Structure 1
Amino acid sequence: MQNSAIAPSVATTPASLLAQCRTHEGGILFDFDGTLANTTPSIVATLRASFKAMGRPVPEEDAMVKSIGLPLNQAFCRLGEFSKEEAATAVSIYAELFMTHEIPTIELFPEIKTTLEQLHEQGVRMAIVTSRNRHSLELILERHDIQKYFETNVTFDDGITPKPAPDMVLALLDRMHLAADSTLVVGDTTFDIEMGNRAGCHTCAVSYGNHDRAMLQTARPDFIIHHLGELL
């Protein structure tokens, strides 16, 4: 779906934008959770277990799902009104539980691997921008053998101001020497879309992730797609 604020000269479909993305100064920056990997069940289960371990009431599942995409400390503060110190403890509990019990169960969404392979073969430069920590991201990428498609990544561990601020995308644009107007940011939450918009990039929301279509539209993405293969 095209953003009504976009100028007529801008590509009208994600696929038609690929010509710009294939240039030396263009690329695609992907969110990870809810965009490439179906991590929602694992994240919700680990959040639930973390709240129980902290002796705190477990939030509603819908609230937990909508918090995905934020850094974990912010998610815990939003969901449970934790102090910074309590949130830090909860993050440590979460990390141990997630690494032990959940990473082996995480699967990619349909078409992800084949779409990434085709984009790579077409010469599209790609990177990941995520609130996840680098160690868990790399474990999942390696498990599914897709790390080879990404030039680099920005994660929570980089210490950059998180989504929805534009800073993580701006860091990738600078690192990869990409032009914002030839770069597409793809994500499943309003946090991703707001981040990309504020960085001056094109933005594409996926409707199969953690925020539904109505919620995504509030962030005014340039496009909304229902499966990643629509990028081709």
Structure 2
Amino acid sequence: MDKNYTAVLFDLDGTIMDSGPGIMKSVQYALDHFDRPNEPEETLRKFVGPSLMDSFTHLYGMSEEDATRAVELYREVYPTKGIFDATPYKGIEEVFRTLQAEGRKLVLVTSKPHIFAERILEHFGFTSYFCYQTGPELDDHDSRKARLIRKAMDALKFEKTECVMVGDRMFDIDGAVEAGIDSIGVTYGYGDRAELQNAGATYIVDSPKEILSILQQE
């Protein structure tokens, strides 16, 4: 590989953290108020990654008004009961340590509201690894990854060729493609290999350790 990625952009949910348990329980709490109790886990898993507004709208056909209310209900419980119901993926901190020691810049690019992402990184002791974090504000439902990637690149003066996006869902890969940067799709999160391939991932790996293998082939 003849690339030299000096900036590594990481998604949060499904890439750094298995955040599914807390997210899915909070989504179910919201759905209970719409007479949708005991939703299948297969459906709830689809909420891990994309914006809540998009998920409630596309998965349940909610109107904008109902989706907004569902997000409000979700946020009644997530900040206190769901936010730390998550587990870092095995080996991910070693990836951070190694990349930081190599002099690379680590950036968090997440569709999760920034205020929640910041708390999660701090709680699990990951804040110091990241030189920059970006995510939407609570009242900003435009969580397109390309917009957030460009925001980080502009803030840090990165060139496209310096950057690679690491994520587990097609939304991460789509964002990278739209922003004109390479991507590493990870299959250990909430997307699968076919989803990542179809989205156009530059590389696909099955474990955090393999992220290093890709980057150290330079």
State the TM-score, normalized to the length of structure 2: 0.90
What SS does structure 1 have at the residue aligned with 2:84? helix
Q: Count residues in correspondence.
A: 211
Deviation string 1:195-221 (CA, Å, 9 cap, x unpaired) is 001111011000011111122111111
Tell which deviates more after alignment, 118-127 or 30-39.
Answer: 118-127
The separation in 2 between residues aligned to 1:90 and 1:160, in whole angstroms, is: 13
What SS does structure 2 have at the residue aligned with 1:78? helix
Structure 1 segments, 4+ long, off by >6 Å, are none
Match of 2:144 among 163, 170, 175: 163
Please tell me whether the aligned partners of residues 5 and 161 of structure 2 are also in contact (alpha carbons under 8 angstroms).
Answer: no
Aligned identity (percent) is 27
Could you say which structure has the greater relative contact order, defined with CA pairs below 8 angstroms and 6 or more residues apart?
Answer: 1
Match of 2:185 among 202, 205, 211: 205
Match of 2:114 among 122, 134, 156: 134
1:160/1:168 Cα in 2 relative to 1: closer, same or farther (>3 Å)? Answer: farther
What RMSD over aligned residues (CA atoms) do the two structures have, in Å? Answer: 1.8
The separation in 1 between residues aligned to 2:154 and 2:66, in whole angstroms, is: 35
Structure 1: 5+ residue stretches without partners: 1-10
Q: Which amino acid aligns with 1:21?
A: Y
1:109-188 residue pairs with structure 2 within 5 A? 109-157=89-137, 159=140, 161-163=142-144, 166-188=146-168
What SS does structure 2 have at the residue aligned with 1:127? strand
Match of 2:88 among 105, 108, 112: 108
Q: Which amino acid aligns with 1:162?
A: S
Deviation string 1:91-149 (CA, Å, 9 cap, x unpaired) is 11111211121223211000111210111111110111111112211111111110111
- Give the structure 2 partner of residue 86 of structure 1: 66
Structure 2: 5+ residue stretches without partners: 213-218
The answer to whether structure 1 residue 49 and structure 2 residue 33 are counterparts is no
State the TM-score, normalized to the length of structure 1: 0.84
